[in-house]
Amino acid sequence: MATGSKTRGGVFHAISVDLRRLHETWMELVFPRQRTSTHSVLGKWTPNTTTGWIGYRLWAALGVLIVALLYPLALFGFMARFYARKADGTATRIGILGVVAVSVLIWGALTVFAHFRFSRTGFLAVGAAGVVATISAALAVVFSRIGGRKTTVFLGYPFGMTAVFLPPVVAALYSPTLAQTIFPQSESLAIWLLDNVLYVGGINEFLRSRYSLSGLGYVGMWFGIAVPLGWILGGLVTLADLIRPK
């Protein structure tokens, strides 16, 4: 019982620290010296005028709402950061050539297996998927190594997502069996996104009038999904780093 109480206390303490840091970071967007001021000689900055106090309190109240919305996302960011660190640690140990070699080894073995067990279209499907996955994984590692956090978030994570999402779509272009599963599901997802997400500013109508969801259109669609998903994932990991630095 005592151990359980200590565990709950530790969790609640960690959450309270996270919330305070996140709110202080929000406050520091407008007001100076708000975060990590407990160990500062100067202490936390506070306004010295009535107007300043009003603005300070209003900004703080707005911050409570923002924190309530962001913290659940930050929790997901903690989990994503854990797996991202593991993947990054593995990539660091074996290097870019190692990542390429592992990908070529895995996909090469699958391609050889497909050559003996599947039709020519299935063989081409697995081979094409391997090329996409290998190039995307290599680019993800490259961009995570250069340019700092911004390059990692805006380029590294999207290519990482591309390595996950595009291979089965590319394979479906060659395999009728995969196409029967992936393309109808992709079409349903595309309709939902157009009707519920991309309706702002008539983007859905523009896409429907200019593009057809067939052939390479599916590849373009999933690349278009992988990129913002990579940005979102990278943003959540960045938010987790902001709240709980490494």
- pLDDT for residue 216: 79
| Residue of 90, 28, 108, 114 lying closest to 63 (CA atoms) | 28
Domain for residue 41, yes or no?
A: no
Domain for residue 188, yes or no?
A: yes
> What's the N-to-C CA distance of the chain in angstroms?
32
Find out whether 82 and 240 touch, Cβ atoms under 8 Å. Answer: no
Domain for residue 25, yes or no?
A: no
Q: Is the pLDDT of residue 43 over 50?
A: yes
- pLDDT for residue 202: 81
Domain for residue 3, yes or no?
A: no
Domain count, the chain: 1
Domain for residue 234, yes or no?
A: yes
Q: Write the pLDDT tens digit of every residue in 99-116.
A: 888 888 888 888 888 888
Domain for residue 132, yes or no?
A: yes
Domain for residue 62, yes or no?
A: no
Question: Which residue range(s) make up the domain with 238?
Answer: 74-243
169 burial via Cβ count (<10 Å: 0-12, 13-18, 19+): buried
Q: Write the pLDDT tens digit of every residue in 156-180.
A: 899 988 888 888 888 888 878 778 8
- pLDDT for residue 41: 63
At how many degrees (to 10) do helices 50-117 and 216-243 cross? 140
Q: Is the pLDDT of residue 240 over 80?
A: yes
Q: What is the pTM of this model?
A: 0.73
Domain for residue 171, yes or no?
A: yes
